[in-house]
Amino acid sequence: MTARPSHTTGSTDVPLLETTIGADLAATVARVPDGEALVECATGRRWTYRELWDDVTAVARGLASLGLQKGDRVGIWAPNCAEWTLVQYATARLGVVLVNVNPAYRAHELGYVVGQSGMRAIVAVPELKGASFADMIEQVRPDHPHLTDVLLIGTPSWEAMTDAGRASDLDVDAVEATLDPGDPINIQYTSGTTGFPKGATLSHRNILNNGFAVGELLHYTADDRIAIPVPFYHCFGMVMGNLAATSHGATMVVPAPMFDPAATLRAAAQERCTSLYGVPTMFIAMLSDPSFDEHDLSALRTGIMAGSPCPVEVMKQVIERMGAEEVSICYGMTETSPVSTQTRTDDSVERRVSTVGRVHPNLEVKVVDPLTGDVVPRGTAGELCTRGYSVMLGYWEEPAKTAEAIDADAWMHTGDLAVMDDDGYVGVTGRIKDVVIRGGENIYPREVEEFLLTHPDVLDVQVVGVPDARYGEELMAWVRLRDGIGTLTVEAVREFCDGRLAHYKVPRYVHVVEEFPMTVTGKVRKVEMREESRTLLGL
């Protein structure tokens, strides 16, 4: 008997939401107006769904008062805060495209996304962890005359915009009535294999339905309270967190602006959270925090672990010590809004640590031979592909790159190697491309290499991932120096990158060589470099 093909379709019992994000929020407000919508632990601020709606409407009117309208792009460059969420829903109600900017970005990367997206306005915090966002914005503005408005949270520019919104009588509902669920609403930049990041463009339909589906599989109701320490600038925070919550009338709990294990535990305990999110490194940090035993986590029922593979011991501790017996594993990518597969709350621990679950409702996944594109039999490794409502509209203004990722039959090719078992559970076994995943952040070596090539002493550079106990992987740069230059220290590389490259992309190790290992056809042998790197570092 021949093995079944590695192709499976999710259930269609629950129909897709054919509505916009704002209309979905309005329905929730009508259902649970006095339910708690948002809690910001750092400031103690709280919103009911009715209050959230009023503030979202004020921000929408304020943004409209600046002349922003459907299709315009507005950036948000901030850590997790209530204003991030207000801007997320306000832009959605106007049909304005929200451009997520990673708070780790520096001027070099900021300038690129401002230009590539054609950003009209940006909402930002004035500074974060000693880095002046205000200064970096001013640094890039002269090159981008289309960036007309800068709104700094907590300053007069933000207050003036929200005051204008409160004074305005713009009928936001009427604007919203002109929108379509298929309209673009969000651009998220994912590091590109050819240097600069690509802007995955997502619609109301993409992210609203994905957030809703995640919440359905976790059995969310208006009684759930979700601790969201993962960043809003990723789909993990703004879709699996915020949209899963608001589509079910649940509460979004923001423990801190940036991940802090003690603050997250405190928030989960004090706010009686029923669900907790994180990448495995976050759960490891919380479980090993000295204050762990001081916190009553008895309300925890579920949660999500995603971003990188979950170690068995960590999953067991999350279930036993945290009490999150229904914790779920999700797999996906920004380009698929993000989740394609998810474990179910009643799956065994073994399933939850050895697989990334089964296909989501209303989606299809298949595993294909990377060379021929043919579907492989179950139990055989190949490239994982996803098709359905969650696949992005495309990379912003990059049709050629979109065509490389999404084939003529609308399948998104993930670049991940996977195996599907007889029950439809998927195990991700590796990556076809050289992407390095450090603490849940995808890093494409090519982007780091192109940046390091701007160093005056560097002739050539190759970046590979090496194993790391804390982050899963770290970067190691193999460097060839120009004639007469003998050494390049890690410190020198860090100094060169400081303020210009996101911290997680800065190589932890530097190895100076005269030549790279090459194939007979003159291609660099990264596989060999990775093996040798392990030996050199004693890993």
pLDDT of 529: 92
Instruction: Determine the Cα angle at 484 with ends 480 and 485, to 5°.
Output: 55
Per-residue pLDDT band for 193 (boundaries 50, 70, 90) equals very low
The DSSP letter of residue 148 is -
Cα–Cα distance for residue pair 461/378, rounded to 1 Å: 39
| Mean of pLDDT over the chain | 94
Cα–Cα distance for residue pair 428/230, rounded to 1 Å: 22
Contact (CB, 8 A) for 226 and 410: no
pLDDT of 280: 87
Contact (CB, 8 A) for 379 and 415: no
Angle, in degrees to the nearest 10, between helices 21-31 and 82-94: 120
Complete domains list, the chain, with CATH? 21-418 (3.40.50.12780), 436-537 (3.30.300.30)
- Containing 197, the helix (H) or strand (E) segment is strand 195-203
Cα–Cα distance for residue pair 312/289, rounded to 1 Å: 19
Is 371's pLDDT higher than 60?
yes
Q: How far is CA 76 from CA 65, 176, 231, 364, 375, in A?
A: 18, 21, 12, 32, 40
pLDDT of 194: 47
| Choice between 280 and 303, residue whose per-residue pLDDT is larger | 303
Per-residue pLDDT band for 450 (boundaries 50, 70, 90) equals confident
| Choice between 207 and 307, residue whose per-residue pLDDT is larger | 207
Question: Which of 38, 20, 88, 76 is CA-nearest to residue 239?
Answer: 88
Contact (CB, 8 A) for 476 and 466: yes
Angle, in degrees to the nearest 10, between helices 261-270 and 280-287: 80
Cα–Cα distance for residue pair 7/445, rounded to 1 Å: 31
Cα–Cα distance for residue pair 137/361, rounded to 1 Å: 41
- Containing 384, the helix (H) or strand (E) segment is strand 382-388
Per-residue pLDDT band for 520 (boundaries 50, 70, 90) equals low
Contact (CB, 8 A) for 457 and 476: no
Q: How far is CA 310 from CA 24, 228, 354, 401, 471, in A?
A: 33, 18, 8, 31, 12
What is the share, in percent, of the chain residues with pLDDT greater than 90? 81
What is the share, in percent, of the chain residues with pLDDT greater than 70? 97
Cα–Cα distance for residue pair 43/459, rounded to 1 Å: 49
Contact (CB, 8 A) for 415 and 396: no
Cα–Cα distance for residue pair 5/177, rounded to 1 Å: 44
Is 11's pLDDT higher than 80?
yes
pLDDT of 147: 98
Per-residue pLDDT band for 2 (boundaries 50, 70, 90) equals confident
Q: What is the pLDDT of residues 91-112, one digit of tens each?
A: 999 999 999 999 989 998 999 9
Beta bridge partners of 305: 278, 329
Where does 231-381 show beta strands of DSSP type E? 251-254, 275-278, 302-305, 328-332, 339-342, 358-359, 363-368
Question: Which of 224, 217, 279 is CA-nearest to residue 248?
Answer: 224
Average pLDDT of the residues in 388-398: 98
Q: Token digits for 491?
A: 């410190």
The sign of the dihedral angle between the CA atoms of 403, 408, 410, 412 is: negative
* Residue 323 Cα to chain centre, angstroms: 26
Residues recorded for the chain: 539
Q: What is the pLDDT of residues 35-77, one digit of tens each?
A: 999 999 999 999 999 999 999 999 999 999 999 999 999 999 9
Beta bridge partners of 9: 364
Most confident residue range from 324-328, 416-420, 481-485: 324-328
pLDDT of 519: 58
Is 279's pLDDT higher than 50?
yes
Other Cβ atoms less than 10 A from the Cβ of 177: the count is: 11
Q: Token digits for 79?
A: 């850590």
